[in-house]
Amino acid sequence: MTMHEGMLRPGCATVRDGRLVVAVHLPWYRSLPLSCVESVEVNGVPGVIPDGGTWDLRDPIEVSAPAAGGEIEVSVAVRIPYIQQAPGVPLVQRATARTEVTVR
């Protein structure tokens, strides 16, 4: 399994208070501080990233977007602070995953 294949798992999407809520897993092999998350988008709509703490590999973060059925696309960009592309320039890992969702 590649890192982006594990981002969206079966049953990852639900509807809560009229909004689509997607459980997104970290597309990296180590847990990272949430401050390393540059962006999380669902169907091109920026999601709210929780404040503080760590995005643990085992735990998804929940991102909400306007409710929509069919295919959803989730994009994540995280800074990897311990891998430098150039002095003082951390690697930014970008991943995109898609899944089919039935909204009820």
Is the pLDDT confidence value at 51 over 90?
no
Residues 48, 64 contacting (CB under 8 angstroms): yes
pTM, rounded to two decimals: 0.86
Higher per-residue confidence, 64 vs 4: 64
pLDDT single digits (tens) 52-102: 899 998 999 998 888 776 888 999 999 999 999 999 999 999 999 998 877
CA nearest neighbour of 97 among 33, 16, 9: 9
| Tally of structural domains, the chain | 1
Specify the pLDDT at position 2. Answer: 53
Please provide the average confidence, as pLDDT, over all residues in the chain.
87
Percent of the chain with pLDDT over 90: 49
User: What is the residue range of 44's domain?
Assistant: 4-101
Specify the pLDDT at position 103. Answer: 64
Whichever domain contains 68, its CATH number is 2.60.40
